[in-house]
Amino acid sequence: MSASQKKSRYIDENWFTRDRHGVALLGSKCEACDKVFFPKKLVCPDCFDGKLTEIPLSRNGRLHTYAQAIMGPANLKKPYIMGFVDLPEKIKLYSLIVDCEPWNEVLKIGMDVELVVRKFGTDRHGNEIISYMFRPTTGGK
């Protein structure tokens, strides 16, 4: 297979959508109780009522906590930073935290972080895998 035939794919097609700003995470919102879920659900696990609407999630959130992993799965370059991000939709989301070196000085609990969607790895066929990550908010916010 030549390099030109290689494709890129999302780590999970169900996690992503596009709106006018580009790629976003895809959640579902319950019309009855307004709760938002990620990844999208079949029914509202909270009220089991109403209809679910698919919505793009906010790209900006707050860093709830973070940690530097020295040991981890084989596909990731170590060390790496993991975190929980609080999104305004009341979603607590596990994410890799990137573009934050030196992490010990840059990262602060409660700081603004923003979504990035980029190459995460390569599958065994040589295709790019794209995933979501968060990084400290750029652009002076």
- Burial class of residue 116 (count of CB atoms within 10 Å of its CB; 0-12, 13-18, 19+): middle
Strands (E), the chain: 8-10, 16-19, 22-30, 36-37, 52-56, 60-69, 80-87, 91-97, 112-122, 128-136
Establish if 8 lies at the interface with another protein (CB under 8 A). Answer: no
Q: How far is the CB of 43 from another protein (least distance, A)?
A: 16
The residue (of 2 and 126) whose beta carbon lies closer to another protein is 126
| Residue 71 within binding range of another protein, rule CB under 8 A | yes
Residue number with CB closer to another protein (83 or 136): 83
If one counts every other C-beta atom within 10 angstroms of the C-beta of residue 95, the result is: 22
Question: Is the CB of 2 or the CB of 47 nearer to another protein?
Answer: 47
Cα–Cα–Cα angle for 66, 76, 74, nearest 5°?
125
Residue 126: Cβ within 10 Å count: 12
- Segment contacting another protein (CB under 8 A): 2-10, 16-24, 50-58, 88-96? 88-96
Confirm or reject binding of residue 16 to another protein (CB under 8 A): no
Per CB under 8 A, 53 contacts another protein: no
**Residue ranges in contact with another protein by CB under 8 A:** 11-12, 15, 39, 64-76, 80, 82-84, 86, 90-96, 109, 120-121, 131
